[in-house]
Amino acid sequence: MLDDTMKLKGKLTITLNGEVVREVDNLVVTAGKDFVASRMVGTASGVMSHMAIGTGSTAAAVGNTTLGTEVGRVALASATASAAIVTYGATFPAGAGTGAIVEAGLFNSIAPTGTLLCRTVFSVINKGASDIVTITWAVTVG
């Protein structure tokens, strides 16, 4: 009997003002898995296009469809696929998403709508009004 199990897993690298401050794994939520399956048979749902950050510290759960407390969402600056890894990049410029950032998510629309693909919660990154946060998010299909 063949046993071919496909899984999605993700990892973020977060920089604050150009310095790596966090590397953290994420959770691919149920809505995200449904999104991937629907894209295999059509294009009814738009591609992942935005990244969000927030201050909600509740643990990521498979049933999540939003961030706990979103404080900023930006369009992706890049999205590439190679060797079963999709890599997304986004920058939260000065003045966008300020606060005690502890969560991030990938969406296929601008706030407040869109399907959530992945969500993660991490230890606090204090983003001041003049700070720049860049996130590189790699989702591996394996």
Stretch 46-53: mean pLDDT, rounded? 94
High-pLDDT (> 90) share of the chain, %: 73
Give me the residues paired with residue 107 across strands: 50, 116
Condensed to tens digits (0 to 9), the pLDDT of residues 94-135 reads 999 999 999 999 999 998 889 999 999 999 999 999 999 999
Burial class (CB in 10 A: 0-12, 13-18, 19+), 126: exposed
Q: Are strands 85-92 and 133-141 parallel, antiparallel or unpaired?
A: antiparallel
State pTM to two decimals: 0.91
Contact 68, 103 (CB under 8 A): yes
Token pair for residue 89?
């990049």
> Which residues lie closer than 8 Å to 82 by C-beta, 6 or more apart?
none
Condensed to tens digits (0 to 9), the pLDDT of residues 19-47 reads 999 999 988 888 888 888 777 787 767 88
